Amino acid sequence: MDKPTDKTPADIARLSKTLAMDQVEEAANEAWKEYMYDRIWDAACVIEFLTTDDVVQRYRDALDNVKPDTHDWRALGPVMRNAAKLGYIERTEYFRKSTDGARRHHAPLQIWRSLIFGGKKHAHEG
């Protein structure tokens, strides 16, 4: 007989999302991830509230001759999460529509608050 689980459907969905994010991040090109951390830093220095659209735009606008790429751009989500752990940004409770809705199937975008906006070089600076 199966034992009842104490996990709710929401718990299972969160775990599934976390596992999927970890998997896509693990498979992403390391050079691309490092490049994207720099794009997040660049955006967070000048934009107080940002989304992945802002980061992607900085990638597209970069004048580098050769930009690293990755096979699955969904890895940007975990890279943003890690940038938060590094103290660049923090998650807010807010979302907005993507400017590139078709690419994201019109899913809402997480809004992040910069912790380095306006010249702060560390999240703990006032």
1 occurs within a structural domain: no
Q: What is the pLDDT of residue 11?
A: 86
DSSP strands (E only) in the chain: 49-50, 89-96, 109-114
In a domain, 2, yes or no: no
pLDDT for res 27:
80
Closest CA to 55 of 65, 64, 63, 44: 44
- For 62-108, the pLDDT digits (tens) are 998 899 999 999 999 999 999 999 999 999 999 998 876 666 677 89
Residue 84 belongs to some domain of the structure: no
Provide the pLDDT for residue 103: 64
Q: Look at residue 102 and tell me if it is in a domain.
A: yes
Separation of alpha carbons 43 and 89, rounded Å: 10
Structure confidence by residue, pLDDT tens digits, 12-69: 888 887 887 778 788 899 999 999 999 999 999 999 999 999 999 999 999 988 999 9
pLDDT of residue 62: 93
Domain that holds residue 103: 9-70+90-119
pTM: 0.80
Q: Flag whether 126 is in a domain.
A: no
The answer, yes or no, to whether residue 121 has pLDDT greater than 60, is yes
Q: What is the pLDDT of residue 29?
A: 93
Instruction: Tell me how crowded residue 20 is: count the other CB atoms within 10 A of its CB.
Output: 13
Total structural domains in the chain? 1
Q: Would you give the DSSP letter of residue 117?
A: G
Q: Is residue 99 part of a domain?
A: yes
